[in-house]
Chain A
Amino acid sequence: MSATPTTATMRSSASATRRAPLLAAYAWLVFAFIYLPIIVLIVYSFNRDGVGGFPPHHLTLDWYRQLFGDGAIWTSVLNSLIVAACSVALSLTLGLPAALALDRANFPGKSLFRRLVLLPLILPGIITGLSLLMFAVCAGAHLSLLTVFLGHGTALISVATTELFAGLQKMDRAQEEASLDLGATPLQTFWRVTLPNLKLSLIAAGLLIFTLSMDEIAVTFFLIGRDNTLPLEIWGRLRRGITPEINAISTLIFAASVILIVIWFQLRTRAQRKAL
């Protein structure tokens, strides 16, 4: 993801930024396509006449007012936040040892394990969701937010493992060796050397898992009990028809995401500056 410019790329982009007007126009059209629905969504969240029709007129905050008085939505937001936070904890707790094991240990079935962990990321969500549903039913579990959390946490070990494994690969093992040679126990070395070195990967993985869990719907769809997560609440309302309240909540989520991205970006540039 983070493509650091090599000296070669920096040189060529500095020496000559070539021009290709047709390609540039095409690229901007693609951007327009990507952003069109998002802009429509935001604009119509302020439209008094609701979603549809053109041009939008009578700007209003009514839909936001209605949204803030809507208890069901905020309950589902709270449910989603709880599930996401717990999923982050679970998948990092298991993803970290998994990444360490893949990086450092050899055991029978290692390549099978690597593929299996990644499967939920690669397979369509419905397959993982249904498998977990059958498992829950066979285990006699009652479908609830707990099953949703177990599903998210387990499926997202894939993300935690990939991110942390990449972090471990970049890490300088000499530091750990030095720590062990100087008499620190393996546990001390883990706390004082390994973990601090992985800090950025841990934050990155955590943020990614959090957003993925907040947005997850295919797996959640099959594991949900009576309490809805936000995407399922929105889904239920969509089945009943279009309401601008959904535009309003989506706009708010969009704003929150952008803020998260900016924070993450700041963290990364600061870390990179420190590394230089």
Chain B
Amino acid sequence: MYSRAYKSFVSLPPLVWVGLFLLLPYTLMLAHSFWVVRDGFIVHEWNLQNYRTLATNPVYVQVLLRSMRIAASVTLCSLLLGYPLAYYLSFYAGARKEILYQLVIVPLWISYLVRGYAWKTILGSDGVLNGFLQYLHLTNAPVGFLLYSPFAVILMLTHIYTPFVFLPIYAALEHIPRPLVEASQDLGASPFKTFLRVILPLSLPGLLAGATFAFVLSLGDFLAPLLVGGASGTMIANIVQSLFGAAYDWPLGAAISVCILLITVTLLFFTERLAKRWAFR
């Protein structure tokens, strides 16, 4: 029903724009990863040296593995907090459902930075938590290990991604036809068995979407480590950031970025396929 002119009129501007301002920059990133820096200048000489450096220098692999561990912990913690919350809201909250849902959404509107900052003020050695512990006389001297550790990074990122993980799980739970749940109970399954055999499998696509999101965004985070991570909480994106800053080795930084991008895209590819297979038919 739409004319050819209409179709090209709506397709062309976004195509051109996205090609110029997204595809070209991402391609430029890829191109940089095959170039090198010589005497402080980026030389357009195609080679695999950056990737060789990444594979042979153990520091990069180590930090990448640490980042993946941190991201996995964040994902797990967010699921452990977000799933039961979504389950409670969807199945047990009754009339309060809508208002509680809004209560989960509200923190999403609070700046990422501000939430990280809040954790910093809580965990610091002269922070609120230490003040509280000393007020209760549980400790006499401030506890120092809370801030500037991988623990603090995991805590802060879990706090940020729990609502994000909650959302798709809640949506999936809300779409489960209630007669299925009732049928399972009528046929004598215990609530636990109903959950395990009916509810959990049907909510897996939502769970997967939330988990992927939390994992990918935590993996590439560089602000949380700077804010609360300290030296032991340094993540792969911090290395990239320093390579683009003081260290001035854009090609090597680009190569690491390409690796992060590849991990992300591979993960998305597999979760998409899994979600399709698990989707409720």
Contact of A123 (CB < 8 Å), options: B88, B91, B104, B216: B216
Return the CB mask of A26-63 against B: 1 if under 8 Å, else 0.
11001101111110110010000001111100000000
Q: Please give me the residue from chain B that is nearest to A100 by CB atom.
A: B10
Question: Which residues of chain A have C-beta atoms less than 8 A from B15's C-beta?
Answer: 101, 107, 113
Binds B, one of A65-73, A81-89, A198-206, A230-238: A230-238
Question: Which residues of chain B have C-beta atoms less than 8 A from A128's C-beta?
Answer: 25
Closest 8 CB pairs of A and B: A124-B220, A54-B131, A17-B94, A37-B118, A131-B25, A98-B14, A105-B7, A135-B25
- Is B10 within 8 A of A124, CB to CB? no
Question: Which residues of chain A have C-beta atoms less than 8 A from B62's C-beta?
Answer: none
Binds A, one of B52-60, B163-171, B197-205: B163-171
Q: In the complex, what distance in Å separates the CA atom of A37 from the CA atom of B152? A: 13
B interface, over-half SS = helix
Question: Which residues of chain B have C-beta atoms less than 8 A from A177's C-beta?
Answer: 1
Known: A9-B178, A24-B88, A33-B81. A40 touches B122 (CB 8 A): yes
Beyond A122-B264, A157-B14, A222-B244, 19 extra complex contacts between A and B, CB < 8 Å: A1-B167, A5-B174, A20-B92, A23-B87, A30-B84, A40-B118, A55-B135, A97-B11, A98-B14, A100-B10, A104-B7, A126-B222, A128-B25, A131-B25, A154-B22, A157-B17, A173-B1, A231-B111, A253-B114
- With an 8 A cutoff between CB atoms, is A271 at the interface? no
25 chain-A/chain-B pairs, Cβ below 8 angstroms: A3-B170, A8-B178, A12-B178, A17-B92, A18-B91, A31-B103, A33-B159, A37-B159, A41-B117, A41-B121, A52-B124, A97-B13, A98-B14, A116-B18, A116-B22, A126-B257, A127-B260, A130-B29, A130-B257, A180-B1, A186-B6, A234-B113, A234-B114, A253-B114, A261-B105
- With an 8 A cutoff between CB atoms, is A193 at the interface? no
For residue B211, give the distance in angstroms from its CB to the closest CB of chain A: 14
Q: How many residues of B contact A (CB 8 A)?
A: 99
- With an 8 A cutoff between CB atoms, is B144 at the interface? no
- Is B106 within 8 A of A261, CB to CB? yes
Interface residues on A, range: 35 or more
Q: In the complex, what distance in Å separates the CA atom of A261 from the CA atom of B2? A: 37
Q: In the complex, what distance in Å separates the CA atom of A252 from the CA atom of B99? A: 22
Q: Please give me the residue from chain B that is nearest to A126 by CB atom.
A: B237
Q: Please give me the residue from chain A that is nearest to B9 by CB atom.
A: A97
- With an 8 A cutoff between CB atoms, is B127 at the interface? yes
- With an 8 A cutoff between CB atoms, is B112 at the interface? yes
- Is A24 within 8 A of B92, CB to CB? yes
